[in-house]
């Protein structure tokens, strides 16, 4: 409970907050006059001084004001008790806000990574192997970055150095020029490892190819400084697939993996690459990093993992509630986490109310759904392809490129060579908008 003095300014702000929340309005001019003067213990006949109001008019305004406050505060409010009532209600709100903050803190602490065995143990074992390569694949919002960060955290426990480069941070222009891209890549890596940028500049010889320069930077400037191992995570690597430099960069990654088998220095380098789709460009089988190393494909949460997530959010749910939510969003980690975190911090909101609005622009997923719709709107052919999927009553066979793109966005599940909507939420939302 707050020890702060309950002043007129605090009382006025509190009334405005409550009225705005319950009635979508504030005190009008006449009500403000009555409230301020009542705070100073003036009688109605004393309030008329300096205003063009009669005593009877202000008395009527006062009656309406106390009735209005009685309604929004849930108990009788009058000119004689409004101060004490407001102060008590304000302190109750302060205490509740403090409790909610504590609940939110506890939820934040408890909402930890949900394991999907045996994936984590496979990654833990693999990252300890000299020159190892882990390939994590899953659609957007399925927890790839969570897993990648967990791998990096595990690596740090073994005193490995770690670095993470997200290709989403690269300007599109870099994807068209291998020299610019590899210089950007090395500069970002150096920044992650606190290597002065002057070292990169001094080691980069314009007379050599950019791949040679990149190899020299690793061999002479980075790996010798690593005591145990360097775990390098490259996120969103599929962003490079459509661009001319893809073959060279992916071939470079494969060459690092191969060097680790022959040269002790390169054994220190462990790679984690993260992508949304299968590789859909033609690569020499001997130059592709996607047919070597440990392949990890993230599935949706199963029932046990969904239950674990509800426990983390301190929601004591019965089986029926879990089923209601998973019937709409399946085992989709992001959609589940969004709903559970929202419900955990809003005790007055029921699951039924959340689910009713979920497939609409009034629901908690509106930003996520609108973002996906916007992407589809910019690609009419992809939009038409997904429309086939959401209106169908069975699996749909699409052109491979449409399948890749829709899977990457997380909009569909693969059923053999066919696809279906990833969850009922997507079917309901998009069926009337495409």
Tens-place pLDDT, residues 210-242: 999 999 999 999 999 999 999 999 999 999 998
Segment 420-426 shows an average pLDDT of 97
Q: How confident is the model at residue 420 (pLDDT cuts 50, 70, 90)?
A: very high
In a domain, 288, yes or no: yes
199 shares a domain with 282 = yes
126 shares a domain with 103 = no
In a domain, 1, yes or no: no
Q: Which of 60, 90, 110 is the last residue of a domain?
A: 110
244 shares a domain with 338 = no
For residue 270, the cross-strand partners are 231
pLDDT at 109: 45
Q: What is the pLDDT of residues 30-83, one digit of tens each?
A: 888 889 889 988 888 888 876 767 888 889 898 988 988 888 888 898 998 998
CA dist., res. 383 & res. 27, Å (int): 49
Q: Which of 85, 110, 135 is the last residue of a domain?
A: 110
For residue 162, the cross-strand partners are 231
In a domain, 225, yes or no: yes
133-137 and 230-235 strand pairing: unpaired
In a domain, 3, yes or no: no
How many other C-beta atoms are found inside a 10 Å radius of the C-beta of residue 353?
A: 13
pLDDT at 49: 76
390 shares a domain with 307 = no
344 shares a domain with 374 = no
Q: Which of 76, 92, 110 is the last residue of a domain?
A: 110
Number of domains in the chain: 4
Would you say the pTM of this structure is higher than 0.85? no
Q: Which domain holds residue 411?
A: 366-431
pLDDT at 50: 65
418-421 and 412-415 strand pairing: antiparallel
In a domain, 158, yes or no: yes
Q: How far is CA 247 from CA 34, 91, 123, 257, 275, in A?
A: 76, 64, 26, 16, 16
Q: Which residue has the tokens 């406050």?
A: 69
Residue 2 has pLDDT above 50, yes or no: no
pLDDT at 54: 85
SS3 352: helix
226 shares a domain with 83 = no
pLDDT at 256: 96
Q: Mean pLDDT score of the chain, rounded to an integer?
A: 89
């Amino acid at each position: 409970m707050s020890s702060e003095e309950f002043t007129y300014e605090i009382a006025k702000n509190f009334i405005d907050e409550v009225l705005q929340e319950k009635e979508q309005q504030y005190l009008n001019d006449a009500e403000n006059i009555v409230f301020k003067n009542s705070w100073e213990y003036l009688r109605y006949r004393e309030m008329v001084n300096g205003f063009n109001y009669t005593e009877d008019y202000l008395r009527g305004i006062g009656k309406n004001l106390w009735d209005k406050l009685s309604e929004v505060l849930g108990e009788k409010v009058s000119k004689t008790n409004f101060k004490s009532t407001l102060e008590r209600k304000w302190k109750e709100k302060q205490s509740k806000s403090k409790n909610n903050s504590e609940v939110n803190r506890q939820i934040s602490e408890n909402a930890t990574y949900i394991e999907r065995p045996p994936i984590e143990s496979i990654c833990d074992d693999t990252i300890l192997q000299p020159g190892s390569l882990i390939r994590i694949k899953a659609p957007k919002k399925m927890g790839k970055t969570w897993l990648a960060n967990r791998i990096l955290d595990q690596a740090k426990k073994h005193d490995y150095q770690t670095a993470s480069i997200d290709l989403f941070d690269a300007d599109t222009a870099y994807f068209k020029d291998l020299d610019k891209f590899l210089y950007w890549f090395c500069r970002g890596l150096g920044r992650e490892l606190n290597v002065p940028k002057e070292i990169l500049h001094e080691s980069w010889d314009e007379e050599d190819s950019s791949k040679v320069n990149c190899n020299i930077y690793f061999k002479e400037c980075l790996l010798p400084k690593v005591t145990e191992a360097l775990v390098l995570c490259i996120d969103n690597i599929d962003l490079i697939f459509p661009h001319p430099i893809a073959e060279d960069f992916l071939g470079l990654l494969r060459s690092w993996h191969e060097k680790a088998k022959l040269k002790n220095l390169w054994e220190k380098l462990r790679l984690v690459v993260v992508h949304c789709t299968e590789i859909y460009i033609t690569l020499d089988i001997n130059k592709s990093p996607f047919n070597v190393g440990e392949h990890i494909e993230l599935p949706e949460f199963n029932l046990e993992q969904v239950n674990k997530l509800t426990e983390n959010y301190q929601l004591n749910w019965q089986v029926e509630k879990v089923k209601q939510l998973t019937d709409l969003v399946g085992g989709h980690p992001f959609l589940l986490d969004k709903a559970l975190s929202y419900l955990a911090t809003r005790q007055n909101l029921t699951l039924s109310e959340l689910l009713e609005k979920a497939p609409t622009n009034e629901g908690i997923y509106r930003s996520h759904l609108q973002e996906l719709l916007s992407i589809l709107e910019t690609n009419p052919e992809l939009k038409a392809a997904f429309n086939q999927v959401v209106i169908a009553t069975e699996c749909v066979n699409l052109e491979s490129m449409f399948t890749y793109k829709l899977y990457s966005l997380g909009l569909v599940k693969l059923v053999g060579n066919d696809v279906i909507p990833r969850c009922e939420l997507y079917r309901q939302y998009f069926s009337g908008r495409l």
